[in-house]
Structures are given as C-alpha cells and as structure tokens.
C-alpha cells in the first residue's frame, strides 16, 4: 500500500508517478497485507491439543513449525531440522537443528524444546490426535543443544511425514499451557488480535530467522461460513481470497471475472456419511450396507459440490499411489437397500443426522436425507454449531449419522482406534495397520494398504461420498498459495502480491 507523505515535494512526485502508465502496478507491488476468508473459526490455536482442522489453517507454518515440512506434492523436506539421518531399520533417527532459531518470545530453539514437546504429546494427559506417533518413541536424546536423537519402539514408515504435521510442532514448556489463546512458535508470524466470532489477525514477528523473506507482514483470517456471504465479500473487496472451503457452484462467475483467479487441486479430504458402528441397529452390517446402497454419489457431488469431487469407496484419496478404486462396491440401488433392511428385520428405519456448519455438510445432509428416504430410512436432520458437534458427536459419540470431511493425511489409521467416534473395532484392521507401519518395502506396503481399504469397504464402516477438490478464489495478482492440499494449511511465507 502507498505511504502517506507530508512533504510537499514528495507529494508532487507521488502524484506524478500515479499519473504514469502502470502506476497502479507499482503501488500494488508494495502491498504487504492480506485478508483471507475461512469457513470455520478454530476452537483454539494449539493444533497439538485439539482435532479441529481449522487450527492448522491459521497456525501451521505461520505461527508453529515442526522438524520437517510437508510440501504441496506431499513429499517431506527439512524445516527446523536442517538435516537428519536414519538407521537402516528406520528405528533410530538423528536430527540436526537449524542454528539461530528463536520463538516469538525470544526463547532460543534447542534440542530441549524438541524433547519436552514430544514427551508432552505422548504423555498421559495428552489430547494430541496423533498421540500414537509420540508414544512410539522409546527414547529421546539431546547430546547437544542442536542435536536430537529418537529411538522408536516400532518402525513407522510415516515417521518423517508425521513430524511435519501440525500435531508435531515444537513449543516451549513455558508457553505450552497458553498456546490455545496466546500461541508462541518459531514461525514467521505471531498472533496480533483475535476477535471471537469474526477474525484472527497475524503480524510478522521480529524474532523470525529470515524476516526479509516474508513479504506479507499482516494477515487477517475472517470467518465467513455462509457461501453467499463468501461471494459477496470477494466481490466487494472485503477479502482478498478464499483458500480453503469455497463452494464449487461459485466458480463460473469468478472464472469470467478478470479481477480474480480460480485454482483447483486435490485434497486429502474424504467427505463421508459417518456411522456410529456401536449404536443399534447400525451395528448390523446389513444396515450399514443398506445406507451405502441408498446414496447416489455422483448426483450428490453435482448437487453439493457442483461436480468438484471424485467418487470413492473407502477412506483413501485417489491421488495416493496405494489407492484402490472401490467406488462401485455399493452401487446406487434403493431397492437393494430396502431388501437389506428387510433382511435385518426392519421395515423402516428412524435415525438422527447431526450436521456441523460447513455448506458441504448442511447441503449434503438435505440431499442424503432425501436419498435415504427413498430407501425407507428417515434421517431426522439436526443442525449443530461447530463446538456443539465436537462435543456431542466427536467427543461423546452421541449420534447415529453425521456428514464430515476428514482432511488429515493418512487418517485411515483412525480405524484402528475402537474409541474413535465412529467406534469401529476390528482386530483384522489393526493387524494390517501394524504390518503397514513396520514394512519398509514399498510394494509390500502398498499391497497391505490396499487390503486395509478393502476391509473398510467390506465392513461398510462409513458411507464414503467423495474425495473433495480444493477450490480456491483469489484476487488475480495475489500469488504463492498451494493449489492442492496434502495437509490443511495456508503457508503465508510464500505469499505475495504480484
């Protein structure tokens, strides 16, 4: 943005520059602030203690950093660790930390902070959603301030990737308890202001190791859940972009408008009709299979996502090399669904469908309920706010059905947790996951992962609807954002105005 000048001569020169061709581009090049829209407000800002994906949308890579960085293509690169070495069995790792790194409060990063972070995340009181990554650490050593050694109990083929997720960011013992509201990290930004229910503002933090490389100095995330309001905010110039969660139905009007740029890419997001596997009669496989046969996924994608999505039949993204196409395992067949219900001794079925706020869930709920009705299943819709959904559905398992987009990478591992909210308990699946985690041969591991997908499909654990596309809209000259989303993050360090 242009500075305001108070010297007459400078004002005259500025006026002359603005009158020249291309002056608008010159002025824009100095812009160092951005305002972005986001669908859901995070319940807190500490990604190591709460499961909400919206936390990473604001804080990951911006406030908090880990030892490794996950790139847009899903590969792993150094971040706080400048290098590492691993034993041949992938059970022992040595990380060399970058020198001169400081937290936003001025605390130097040393191996002690890494050790205490990981021990906390694997501790008895931890609510970290990737807790198993840290409980698998048998020993964490700190031979010197810039060296960390980690010995694992069992080989973990995803270990380096897991250290790049927001659940493994490095924090300090002094700040850890307050990070949900006053986050202290090593990233290029710090929390400036949080207006609950409205916006979160980040500003460049002066202790960052490379402040000159950060072109955006102020970033504001505005919470806009309503799709119509999202469009209005973009058109009015109230926000500069909507990186995650934009509805596909709005794309055509922005594609025709030269003021904007539309990007589409892949995600790790499996949008699904989640099922409470322990609640009767949903504990009956025939009933769960009836649910699967009752949904016309292609029609649902058109109705809810304007065609931006890929039909899936298990909990796995199509871009992964280990993906197996199970989309036709339960073809749309309301008559088959009714027959399965009858076989289970049910002439009709009454269920609750509890929905969180995002448009894909609310709109999807209406479509799903109508489709289920054709198969003799009455799904009573109950709309919930995000905090209520997290408490009632996710934490306390008080639901029959819900619709949710699982955006975390590798979250097929959650099916090995009987106390996760869909309450699937399969020793066979847990055994397969254990084999996959400890197998270093790529071909063998791919085969095991494909068997895992088939087991989930066979057991009809949930009704997987589609893999969500990442649709984003920005002002035409705002650049540097990812198109695809291997993780739920907005890395502002690469963002700039062209």
In contact, 456 and 316? CB cutoff 8 Å? no
pLDDT in tens, the chain (498 residues): 222 222 233 333 333 333 344 444 434 446 999 999 999 999 999 999 998 899 999 999 999 999 999 999 889 999 999 999 999 999 999 999 999 999 999 999 999 999 999 999 999 999 999 999 999 999 999 999 999 999 999 999 899 999 999 999 999 999 999 999 999 999 999 999 999 999 999 999 999 999 999 999 999 999 999 999 999 999 999 999 999 988 788 888 999 999 999 999 889 999 999 999 999 999 999 999 999 999 999 999 999 999 999 999 999 999 888 999 999 999 999 999 999 999 999 988 999 999 999 989 999 999 999 999 999 999 999 999 999 999 999 999 999 999 999 988 889 999 999 999 999 999 999 999 999 988 888 899 999 999 999 999 999 999 999 999 999 999 999 999 999 888 989 999 999 999
Q: CA torsion sign, 185 to 190 to 195 to 199?
A: negative
195 contact partners, CB below 8 Å, separation of at least 6: none
Phi and psi torsions of 102, nearest 5°: -130, 150
pLDDT at 438: 86
Q: Which of 191, 57, 71 is nearest to 472 (CA)?
A: 57
Residue 469: partners with Cβ closer than 8 Å, 6 or more residues away: 248, 264, 265, 266, 267, 305, 308, 309, 310
Name the region of 463 (left: φ>0; alpha: ψ -120 to 50; beta: rest).
beta
The predicted structure's pLDDT at residue 24 = 41
Longest dimension (CA), the chain: 88
| 64-178 fold | Dipeptide-binding Protein; domain 1 (3.90.76)
Residue 369: alpha-carbon gap to chain centroid = 26
Residue 326 and residue 458: Cα distance in Å, rounded? Answer: 10
**What whole-number distance in Å separates Cα of residue 101 and Cα of residue 109?**
5
Compute and round to an integer the Cα radius of gyration of the chain.
24
Helices (runs of H) and strands (runs of E) counted in the chain: 15, 21
Is residue 282 classed exposed, middle or buried when 0-12, 13-18 and 19+ CB atoms within 10 A define those classes? buried
- Run of H or E residues at 138: strand 137-144
Superfamily of domain 270-468: Dipeptide-binding Protein; Domain 3 (3.10.105.10)
Q: Answer yes or no: are the C-beta atoms of 425 and 276 closer than 8 Å.
A: no
CA 186 and chain centroid, separation: 21
pLDDT at 17: 35
Residue with the two structure tokens 């540097």: 480
How much is the pLDDT for 30?
Answer: 60
Using the 8-state DSSP alphabet, how is residue 218 labeled?
E
Q: What are the sequence ranges of the domains in the chain?
A: 1-26, 31-41+187-266+470-497, 64-178, 270-468
Predicted pLDDT at 251: 87
Closest CA to 164 of 417, 486, 444: 486
Q: Has this prediction a pTM greater than 0.75?
A: yes
The reply to whether 31-41+187-266+470-497 and 270-468 are identical in fold is no
Q: Which of 494, 454, 79, 487 is nearest to 244 (CA)?
A: 487
- Please give the DSSP secondary-structure letter assigned to residue 289: H
Q: Rounded distance, CA 458 to CA 110, Å?
A: 48
DSSP string across 122-185: TSTT---TTHHHHHTEEEEEEEETTEEEEEESS--TTHHHHTTSGGG----TTTGGGTTTS---
Three-point CA angle 183, 98, 178, nearest 5°: 15
pLDDT of residue 51: 87
Which residue's structure tokens are 């076989």?
A: 343
- Find the length of the chain: 498
pLDDT the model gives residue 463: 98
Architecture in CATH of 31-41+187-266+470-497 = 3-Layer(aba) Sandwich (3.40)
Strand partners, 248: none
User: Phi/psi at 153 (nearest 5 deg)?
Assistant: -70, -45
């Amino acid at each position: 943005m242009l500075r305001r000048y108070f010297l007459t001569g400078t004002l005259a020169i500025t006026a002359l520059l603005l009158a020249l061709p291309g002056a608008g581009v010159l002025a824009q090049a100095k812009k160092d602030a951005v305002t972005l829209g986001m669908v859901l407000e995070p319940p807190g800002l500490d990604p190591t203690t709460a499961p909400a994906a919206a936390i990473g949308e604001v804080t990951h890579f911006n406030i908090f950093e880990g030892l490794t960085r996950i790139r847009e293509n899903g590969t792993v690169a150094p971040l706080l660790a400048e290098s590492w070495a691993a034993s041949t069995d992938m059970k022992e790792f040595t990380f060399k930390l970058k020198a001169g790194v400081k937290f936003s409060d001025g605390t130097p990063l040393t191996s002690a902070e890494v050790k205490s972070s990981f021990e906390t995340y694997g501790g008895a009181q931890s609510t970290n959603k990737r807790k198993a990554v840290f409980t698998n650490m048998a020993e964490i050593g700190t031979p010197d301030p810039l060296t960390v050694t980690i010995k694992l109990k069992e080989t973990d083929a995803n270990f380096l990737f897991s250290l790049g997720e927001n659940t493994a960011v490095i924090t300090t013992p002094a700040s850890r308890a307050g990070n949900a509201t006053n986050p202290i990290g090593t990233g290029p930004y710090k929390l400036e202001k949080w207006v609950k229910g409205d916006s979160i503002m980040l500003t460049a933090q002066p202790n960052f190791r490379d402040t000159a490389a950060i072109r955006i100095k102020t970033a504001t995330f505005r919470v806009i859940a309503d799709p119509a309001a999202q469009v209005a905010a973009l058109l009015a110039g109230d926000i500069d972009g909507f990186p995650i969660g934009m509805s596909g139905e709005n794309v055509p009007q922005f594609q025709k408008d030269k003021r904007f740029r539309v990007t589409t890419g892949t995600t790790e997001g499996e949008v699904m009709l989640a099922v409470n596997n322990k609640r009767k009669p949903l504990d009956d496989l025939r009933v769960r299979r009836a649910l699967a046969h009752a949904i016309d996924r292609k029609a649902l994608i058109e109705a809810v996502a304007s065609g931006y999505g890929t039909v899936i039949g298990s909990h796995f993204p199509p871009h992964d090399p280990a993906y197996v196409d199970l989309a036709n395992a339960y073809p749309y067949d309301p008559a088959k669904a009714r027959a399965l219900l009858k076989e289970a001794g049910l002439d009709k079925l009454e269920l609750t469908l509890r929905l969180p706020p995002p448009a894909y869930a609310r709109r999807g709920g209406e479509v799903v309920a109508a489709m289920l009705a054709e198969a003799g299943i009455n799904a009573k819709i109950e709309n919930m706010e995000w905090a209520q959904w997290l408490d009632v559905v996710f934490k306390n398992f008080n639901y029959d059905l819900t619709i949710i987009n699982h955006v975390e990478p590798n979250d097929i591992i959650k099916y090995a947790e009987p106390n996760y909210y869909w309450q699937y308990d399969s020793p066979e699946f847990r055994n397969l996951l254990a084999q996959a985690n400890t197998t270093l041969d790529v071909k063998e591991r791919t085969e095991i992962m494909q068997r895992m997908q088939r087991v989930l499909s066979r057991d009809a654990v949930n009704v997987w609807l589609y893999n969500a596309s990442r649709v984003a809209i920005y002002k035409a000259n705002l650049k540097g954002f990812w198109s695809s989303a291997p993780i739920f993050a907005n890395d502002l360090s690469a963002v700039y105005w062209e």
